[in-house]
Structure 1
Amino acid sequence: MSGAGTTSRTEATRGRARTNGRTGQRIRHLTLHLISIAVGALIVIPIGFGVLGGFKDNGQLSTNPLGLPDPWRPGNYTGILADEVFWRQLANSTLIALATTIVVVGASAMASFVFARFVFRGRELVFTLFAVGLMFPFAVAILPLFVLLRSLGLLDNPLGVILPQAAFGLPVTIIILRQFFRTIPAEVEEAATLDGCTAFGFFWRILLPMARPALATVSVLAIVASWNNFMLPLVVFTDQSWWTLPVGVQAFQGQYGDDTARVLAYVVLSMVPALGFYAVAERQLVGGLAGSVKG
């Protein structure tokens, strides 16, 4: 009887522990869901306010800022879409973002291959110098960078934005790609060498195709960083024909500061390409980062 009573109490204790564990797990899940909803609301509500605000006039924004437009006024959006300046700024942002991505990913891929697959004296020291670049704020370098670009004759030249953006994008890109390249088994490289493949041949024909998820990840990061860059294009471009969308938004706000609805419409249209690109590339971005961290 004593043994049966002890067994019963033990099972009851285990049952309470399982119940408490399930309750704690439910509380954690509920807390995470509430935090996710709160963060999502902080992102979605301002975007929704901007989108709806673009369909209003200033009177509606004053009297009914959070409600639906009544009546709807699509003229703010259609007027901007009919403006040649908006499309020129969109083309400038696209050109600079793509060129920056090609330069930074190409240079970083070759550097990461050397850091990951070759052993030489001072390798970790040189890699650390690149990593230190992550702690160097861009704003600190803007004045000497402006003087350097002026001496090189790169003001009002897209290369004056592309090359510095690529330089500042090298540290994070090299860190991600190097970690991914190190996960490629050495047996693959040995087999390629036995088949007569040179080091560059292995890099070009085997390593890069295998590293497509990581390359896609760093490409997305480079494009988004270039697209959102405001300070460098503002400093480099005095010619309005080279202005990018972030600079164009600031100039548009200065020109139509009293027409808040029109400014909201311009801001929303400027966000659409970046949001659309990120929505398409989100899976590649998350997958590539997960693979890099796992490696």
Structure 2
Amino acid sequence: MSVLSMRARVSKNIGLYFAAFLVASFIVTPILFALLGGFKDNAQLGESPMGLPSPWNTENYTNVLIDLTFWRQVVNSTGIALATTFLTVGVGAMVSFVFARYAFRGREVLFMTFATGLMFHFAVAVLPLFIILRALGMLNNPLGVILPQVAFGLPLTIIILRSFFRQIPGEVEEAATVDGASPWTFFTKVLLPMSRPVLATVSVLALVNSWNNFLLPLVVLHDSSWWTLPIAVTQFSGQYASDTAKVLAFVMLAMLPALVFYAFAERHLISGLTSGSTKG
């Protein structure tokens, strides 16, 4: 590509680049403020909220990292997020396989029933859900968080996976059947390996949504030993409301695992979301 064509391309898309820079600034600025604020004390935050720490104070971060309660909350969030992701993707893949590869009466009606789940936010169902979980004895139980998260995560997972599974050529399934593969073998040995990008996409979405979920764990997990990080952030902010720097350090450490995971998974997320539109 010549220099002139590169300049023409940049000039043509300068508005898009500016918009992207503006959006990125809105996203990065709060994170940078929290990161640097955790290395300050309250006096530095008052004098220079956006400046570099002088001197750098690591005590806020180290105090959080040596707290066993923080690590218990990390384990709680990790366990609930991984279980939610495994069940959401596993169940969603099997249901999507049936919707995509089998024709039966009422299939589209049943699929639309799943799809309408996107119209309902968890907050709408919080009261009946609380009553059901209490009747089942699932309050203060991680399953009381995991199973509803799976239920609310399935609609989007099924829509994405079904669209991808339907684009797998029928000849692939016919060849597997000729070779003696059962439907289950075709699903596990052929279809799932071919669907790794889109499986990674729905896994990222399910895991990040679970990690950031606040309302459901707040309603279900009353015992502090089961608290997840979003609840812990609220509790910590209230306990140390006068120590803003310490709160910023805790918030940053609570955000860090999700940020790191998303940074590594971003390539798979983008490729999975675009793979459906590029396959013939």
TM (norm. structure 2) is: 0.95
Tell me, yes or no, if structure 1 residue 159 matches structure 2 residue 123.
Answer: no
Tell me, yes or no, if structure 1 residue 201 matches structure 2 residue 185.
Answer: yes
Provide the secondary structure at the position in 1 that maps to 2:13.
Answer: helix
Cα deviation digits, residues 13-50 of structure 1 (max 9, x gap):
xxxxxx9x999865441111111111111111111111
Structure 1 unaligned blocks of 5 or more: 1-18
Structure 2 unaligned blocks of 5 or more: none
Cα deviation digits, residues 192-218 of structure 1 (max 9, x gap):
111221111111111111111111111
Q: Structure 2 CA distance, aligned partners of 1:283 and 1:245?
A: 26
Tell me, yes or no, if structure 1 residue 220 matches structure 2 residue 197.
Answer: no
Tell me, yes or no, if structure 1 residue 269 matches structure 2 residue 258.
Answer: no
Cα deviation digits, residues 46-66 of structure 1 (max 9, x gap):
111111100111111111111
2:37 is matched by which residue type in structure 1?
G
Which of 219, 226, 238 is equivalent to 1:242? 226
How far 1:292 sits from its partner (Å)?
2.3
Aligned to 1:173: 157
Aligned to 2:87: 103
Cα deviation digits, residues 79-123 of structure 1 (max 9, x gap):
000000110000000000000011111110000000000000111
Identity level (%): 61
CA RMSD, 1 decimal: 1.6
Q: Structure 2 CA distance, aligned partners of 1:184 and 1:25?
A: 35
Alignment of 1:20-169 (within 5 A): 26-169=10-153
Provide the secondary structure at the position in 2 that maps to 1:252.
Answer: helix
1:125 is matched by which residue type in structure 2?
V
Count matched residues.
276
Higher Cα Rg, which structure: 1
Provide the secondary structure at the position in 2 that maps to 1:99.
Answer: helix
Q: Structure 1 CA distance, aligned partners of 2:53 and 2:122?
A: 41
Q: Structure 1 CA distance, aligned partners of 2:148 and 2:254?
A: 23
Cα deviation digits, residues 158-180 of structure 1 (max 9, x gap):
00000000000000000111011
1:40 is matched by which residue type in structure 2?
A
Q: Structure 1 CA distance, aligned partners of 2:188 and 2:14?
A: 48
Provide the secondary structure at the position in 1 that maps to 2:54.
Answer: coil
1:209 is matched by which residue type in structure 2?
P
Q: Structure 2 CA distance, aligned partners of 1:204 and 1:129?
A: 26
Q: Structure 2 CA distance, aligned partners of 1:56 and 1:107?
A: 46
After TM superposition, the runs of 4+ consecutive aligned structure 1 residues lying more than 6 A away are: 21-24
TM (norm. structure 1) is: 0.91
